[in-house]
Structure 1
């Protein structure tokens, strides 16, 4: 497909997402099934166009003086892909599959618009009602933090040290742009491509099948490291999902100890079975139902709560979620977070630790929940995070990314080069 066909496809998919309120993956999949002639390179380029357009939806609409799917897709090519109005017009000329676009003169006038005159939330490309939350989280830096969420995310891998080391995995990706992560001691990063360039399919590698690595954002790797699981301990991953952090714990513990993996939605645990086998992990027990946790009360050295949240920290990867979030979503999630913290805390032994993690940047889900938990549970106290941070990261000079009032840590694309994560730790008093 030429650029015109790819542009038209992106417009059709964006229209489908807007009119039918569909998640991006579903819309992309359906388009691909009905256009089987499109090759993998075409599908990758179209996916990039759609995701890029949604990452900067508001500022694109301001520049174009209109927010139609066509406006967004054209603005993406101009502003994010670096194609000039003249180049774009020339590329589409004579292409019967290309949509009609404004003239070179009009496109140039759009690009000349002063984005500095736009409202702050438009410059930041976030819903207006979330400005106050971002200001609370980041102070005067909130706009730059939000803008950093509009970039494409890298592909991060966690080396499974049970079976190999980082040098071996890096050698396996020679020539594919892989490098060691700056903060996560066992991480590997492959930066995102530009324009139509696709990210590599790491899970198709032979070494993936051999259990050498898992796909896991560097921020998630750091959250597991901050929880601090050690060999010989008994651990509970209370919101285990697909098991990414439980697998990271198993490697940190050198396959020595016991990890109990539980999730209220037991269907989410199913992928863990194959992941455990592939990784050579021997210490994870999957707990499907609440009664499987009987007898573990006040017996765990560490409990991890990777809480359900709005996912604002993952907006680079799921930009459509940025425009679906509502105040009701936030209210529902904070109620869930309070409950899951209360429920999980009963399993922490005296002197043991409870780790609270979200992939959110909002203080309503982070520091506010920590304060509320401490009020409800005076038997717990917060742990010092400076030393824990120094032990978890590979770069000894990396500044500690404290959250508001130093109550927990907040990772973000701008601060740490990772997805957005929050981490807080508690200890049950003796």
Structure 2
């Protein structure tokens, strides 16, 4: 592909990503993989160059662009090497006309940028949400130890006891250590918010929003398979992925529970008021994961954020019903918005008399309300909020 053809390919791919963002369709990484799957002629250098153009444009444009061309024009205004490639060549984009306007740049759509500012993130704090993320792994303590494990590439040891960091794009999924369950891909911040729950051997621990089970596996490793783990979720497909992952990791999960929204109490009846610890990794806007999914800011609207905060209150109340007297509830979101963090804990404590927020005992993050917030700028992690609540 010529340089101009790469720009045109990026424009076509951006058009698909913008349309999918508006329709809440497939994510950018899947669309990118599908795009190149249908264009086998594109070599590895072409794919890498187009992907770089696409994600640079996504990170640059705050509001959803009108088109892929407008997004690429915004990038061309910043990178002077791109504008001459709008040359009208057979496989390149048409020349830039005088009346064409580039897409607006910024941290996010204006309403969302205002929420980020109101939550205390400004300047470098805010822009770091869109930086490129490294790749972090957790060495699975059930099968290996960071100090003695040999990997194809040497990772940078992290503060988390089994954490290692590699450059973005490192193909760890191709390593034998990954296929054999010796390592798991997990952001450094995610490793610490799991540790904040402080799981102990012999306890009954419920992972209420387990998804595909990344944090469930971390809890199993932290307790040496000596805790009774119950993994729950409303998504049958994602929850179904846990069993093969647990088998690969050598992790023991006593029960997987598929929840029917609105009827969770029926499925969770055996554990009501009996769990020593409950982890609520609540569904959220994902504002803390924009480094990996920068088009996520084009998908979020006010109505969706309101729906998510109501859902977070709901799952917090369910989690509280499972905790035994004196037990612990951990609330986590991969969001930097106070609406999905400090505000939710304040509302919970208003609803549940006798419960108390406790200090979050992790070496990363800064206090935010009654919890702790981790950010890319200060902690080098994805954005997280975590709070620890103890029952009366």
SS class of match (1:305) = strand
Residues 69-148 of structure 1: pairs in structure 2 closer than 5 A? 69-73=68-72, 75-76=74-75, 79=78, 84-85=80-81, 89=84, 96-100=90-94, 124-138=106-120, 141-148=121-128
* Per-residue deviation, 1:101: 5.2
State the match for 1:188 in structure 2: 164
* Per-residue deviation, 1:284: 4.1
1:38 aligns with 2:37: no
1:261 aligns with 2:231: yes
Distance 1:352 1:164 in 2: 31
Distance 2:30 2:142 in 1: 36
Number of corresponding residues: 380
Q: Deviations over 1:324-350 (max 9, x none)?
A: 211100110011011111111111111
* Per-residue deviation, 1:319: 1.3
1:48 aligns with 2:27: no
1:402 aligns with 2:367: yes
Alpha-carbon contact 1:401-1:409 (below 8 Å) kept: yes
Distance 1:123 1:31 in 2: 25
Structure with the higher helix share, 1 or 2: 1
SS class of match (1:142) = coil
Q: Deviations over 1:341-386 (max 9, x none)?
A: 111111111111000000111111111110111111013111122x
TM-score by length of 2: 0.88
Q: Deviations over 1:145-170 (max 9, x none)?
A: 2211121111111110111111344x
Where does structure 1 differ by over 3 angstroms across 4 or more consecutive aligned residues? 19-23, 74-79, 91-96, 100-103, 289-292
1:424 aligns with 2:391: no
TM-score by length of 1: 0.81
Residues 116-265 of structure 1: pairs in structure 2 closer than 5 A? 124-138=106-120, 141-169=121-149, 171-174=150-153, 178-181=155-158, 183-192=159-168, 199-265=169-235
Cα RMSD for the two superposed structures? 2.7
Distance 1:284 1:154 in 2: 33
Alpha-carbon contact 1:255-1:282 (below 8 Å) kept: yes
Q: Which moved more, 1:221-230 or 1:127-136?
A: 127-136
* Per-residue deviation, 1:248: 0.5
Alpha-carbon contact 2:87-2:95 (below 8 Å) kept: no
Gaps of 5+ in 2: none
SS class of match (1:189) = strand
Distance 2:375 2:73 in 1: 29
Cα 1:78–1:124 change in 2 (3 A) is closer
Alpha-carbon contact 2:58-2:294 (below 8 Å) kept: yes
State the match for 1:354 in structure 2: 329
State the match for 2:377 in structure 1: 414
Alpha-carbon contact 1:366-1:422 (below 8 Å) kept: yes
